[in-house]
């Protein structure tokens, strides 16, 4: 989920908001900025809550179980904006959805990454092993799959906003103004 989520947001989110949904670039950027700003304050709170959590399922597992559903739901909602929304209300919708998705992602990934260090015992572990246990390796195969899925989707064809048939979902035809 980590690689797919990261690739989808980093690669396609701004393109989708501007080229497909018609949101201005400044509002799309502001939406991402607001979500990252709030996420910067929420991450330490989630980490602290996860560190001090007590349940019969452990400290980290409840966060993983609860956060996966809103994460998947909001990732789908991120790329299926209602056509009736435009301008300011599209901005508000996009900001709320991406914010919920980032909080759900943090609630999943922070406890998940913290579990690696808890798997070791109190025995001293050499530096190489500890670095391997506590780090998250880049999910390159998942990222590559996400890029290809997006590329194939973009080249699948469709109708431009102006009504002209196009090979891509973005409006790159010569009949459209701008």
Instruction: Reply yes or no on whether the pLDDT at 44 is more than 50.
Output: yes
Beta strands 158-159 and 165-166, pairing class:
antiparallel
127 and 151 fall within a common domain:
no
92 and 176 fall within a common domain:
no
Mean pLDDT, residues 47-70 taken together: 84
127 and 171 fall within a common domain:
no
Going by pLDDT thresholds of 50, 70 and 90, the confidence category of residue 99 is very high
Domain housing 51: 2-137
133 and 164 fall within a common domain:
no
174 and 118 fall within a common domain:
no
Instruction: Reply yes or no on whether the pLDDT at 49 is more than 90.
Output: no
153 and 83 fall within a common domain:
no
Going by pLDDT thresholds of 50, 70 and 90, the confidence category of residue 120 is low
88 and 29 fall within a common domain:
yes
Instruction: Give pLDDT tens digits for 146-158.
Output: 555 555 555 555 5
66 and 152 fall within a common domain:
no
What are all long-range contacts of 109-117, with beta carbons under 8 Å and residues at least 24 apart? 109/2, 110/43, 110/46, 110/47, 110/50, 110/63, 111/46, 111/50, 111/59, 111/60, 111/61, 111/63, 111/64, 112/60, 112/64, 114/47, 114/50, 114/51, 114/60, 115/60
Instruction: Reply yes or no on whether the pLDDT at 19 is more than 80.
Output: yes
**Structural domain count, the chain:** 2
Q: What is the pLDDT of residue 117?
A: 74
């Amino acid at each position: 989920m980590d690689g797919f989520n990261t690739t989808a947001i980093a690669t396609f989110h701004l393109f989708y908001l501007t080229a497909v949904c018609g949101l201005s670039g400044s509002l799309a950027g502001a939406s991402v900025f607001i979500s990252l700003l709030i996420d910067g304050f929420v991450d330490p709170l989630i980490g602290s809550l996860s560190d001090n959590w007590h349940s019969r399922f452990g400290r980290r597992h409840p966060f993983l179980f609860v956060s996966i559903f809103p994460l998947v739901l909001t990732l789908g909602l991120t790329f299926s904006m209602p056509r009736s929304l435009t301008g300011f209300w599209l901005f508000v919708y996009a900001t709320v959805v991406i914010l919920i998705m980032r909080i759900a992602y943090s609630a999943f990934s922070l406890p998940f990454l913290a579990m690696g260090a808890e798997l070791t015992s109190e025995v001293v572990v050499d530096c190489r092993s500890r670095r391997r246990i506590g780090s998250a390796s880049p999910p390159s195969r998942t990222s590559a799959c996400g890029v290809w899925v997006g590329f194939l989707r973009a080249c699948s064809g469709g109708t431009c906003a102006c009504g002209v048939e196009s090979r891509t979902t973005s409006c790159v035809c010569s009949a459209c103004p701008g």
